[in-house]
Amino acid sequence: MYNHFTGRLVSALLTSEPFSLHLSPVLLCLLCVLSSLVDLTTACPPTCLCNATDIDCSGRGLLSMPTLTHLPVTARTLLLPNNHLSSLGPGSFANLTSLERLDLSNNYLDDLPPALFKDLGNLSDLTLHNNSLRALDRDLFHGLVGLRKLDVSLNGLSDIPLGLLDELQGLTWLSVAGNRLHALERAAFEPLANLQYLQLGANPWECDCNLRDFKHWMEWLLYRGGKVDGVECTLPKDLRGRDIRGVPVEMFNYCLQLDDENGRGGATRSGGKDGSSPPCGRTTGSGGTGGAPTSESEVPAAGDLVPVPDCVRRRYQPVSVRRAIGTVVIAGVVCGIVCIMMVGAAAYGCIYASLMAKYQRELKKRQPLMGDGEGDADPEDKQISSVA
């Protein structure tokens, strides 16, 4: 009542011509500031605290989102933690285009609609910590091109879907700790080229072949200066309690053999008489071959791309694995050449030793004969030689 009356009074004073002609510039500025403050207080939700840049609705026992349609465009921070929110509508943040920080932690959110934050292009900090999220739609973070920090820890997430993080290329801090994650897809995290810190702890990690490719990506992140907290294995039993970062990559060598066997078996089952099928590609809805287009007119539209059903999906090999295979091949060739050289040297040594032994035997046979010849010489010759 007071705010409404004050607003009408200020508006009347400003629009009254006789009164406005006698106002000093200082008083006029004061009335303008008062009018803006009145507008701010009337736009602020009744249960929240507001100023020019911050809206604080934390710990208010809210069961649903407060009305935010008349908030000022200068709002930078919206705090909604420690409430009882269980769902959010698709347009909950439609008019908050200048928002930079959004905190929805410690609520009961269990399902968020796709593209919920599409209007928050300036958002840099999003916190969804300690909710009841079991799954995330792959388009949930659509439009968050400026996001730098994302916290989805302490939820019930069992998977990070492919495409969820594709638009978050500027993300530098990410936490998925305290969920139900057993494994992660490397391809889901590869768009995060600027990531510096990753929290993965307190998850039931299964350190098997499903986590191998992600381990390679994590090693790449550490190599370029990033930080990752502990990834403690729960399975298999022989690795329980160990950090996967300390598990030698050689322990995953059997995965390559399993992939090869599974690939051959899948090709035999899905292929023709020779057990071969075309590799998986993308084709148009009219049933194209999925190969490369021969002209620009044959390039299909983005909405018409569908996967080829009868194909064999090629196994992805990380760059580090491909380089390791090449290194093994080169090392094998070098070792083979060295072994051949060693065999040749040993054969040469044996031949040389046998020749020297033969020479020594012949030399020993000749020495007694030379000694006998000297003993049979004429005594007179020996005397002449001694006198000489």
Q: What is the pLDDT of residues 90-122, one digit of tens each?
A: 888 988 899 999 999 999 999 999 999 999 999
The pLDDT of residue 351: 93
CA distances from 27 to 10, 20, 226 (A): 12, 10, 56
Average pLDDT score, the chain? 76
The per-residue pLDDT for range 10-34, each reduced to its tens digit, is: 444 444 444 444 445 555 445 444 4
Check residue 71 and give its pLDDT. Answer: 80
Tokens of 76: 């930078």
Give which of 63, 50, 120 is closest to 91, Cα–Cα: 120
- pLDDT recorded at residue 46: 87
What DSSP letter does each residue of 347-368 carry, written as one string?
HHHHHHHHHHHHHHHHHHHHHH
pLDDT digits (tens, 9 = 90+) for 249-271: 777 766 766 656 665 554 444 44
Q: Does the pLDDT at position 329 exceed 70? A: yes
Is 250:222 a contact under the CB 8 Å cutoff?
no
Residue 383 sits at the vertex; the CA angle it makes with 379 and 384, to the nearest 5 degrees, is 120
Lowest-pLDDT range of 56-70, 178-192, 247-261: 247-261
Q: Which is higher by pLDDT, 305 or 67? A: 67
When pLDDT is cut at 50, 70 and 90, the band that residue 297 belongs to is very low
Length of the chain: 388
Answer yes or no: are the C-beta atoms of 213 and 184 closer than 8 Å.
Answer: no
Does residue 236 have a cis peptide bond before it, meaning omega lies within 30 degrees of 0? yes
> Mean per-residue pLDDT for 314-327?
57
Question: Per-residue DSSP letters for 54-111?
Answer: EEE-TTS--SSPPP-TT--TT--EEE--SS---B--TTTTTT-TT--EEE--SS---B
- Taking residues 61-76, report their average pLDDT: 86
Alpha-carbon radius of gyration of the chain: 40
Percent above pLDDT 90 for the chain: 45
Of residues 33, 28, 5, the one with CA closest to residue 15: 28
Q: At what angle do helices 25-43 and 2-15 cross, to 10 degrees?
A: 150
What confidence score (pLDDT) does residue 231 get?
Answer: 87
* Separation CA 97–CA 194 (nearest Å): 24
pLDDT at 1 (0 to 100): 37
Q: What is the pLDDT of residue 277?
A: 44
* pLDDT recorded at residue 126: 97
Q: Residue 362: pLDDT above 90? A: no
- pLDDT confidence of residue 212: 87
Q: What does pTM read for this prediction?
A: 0.60
pLDDT at 237: 87
Mean pLDDT over 350-375 rounds to 77
CB-facing half-sphere around the CA of 341: CA atoms within 13 A: 6
Q: What is the pLDDT of residue 360?
A: 86
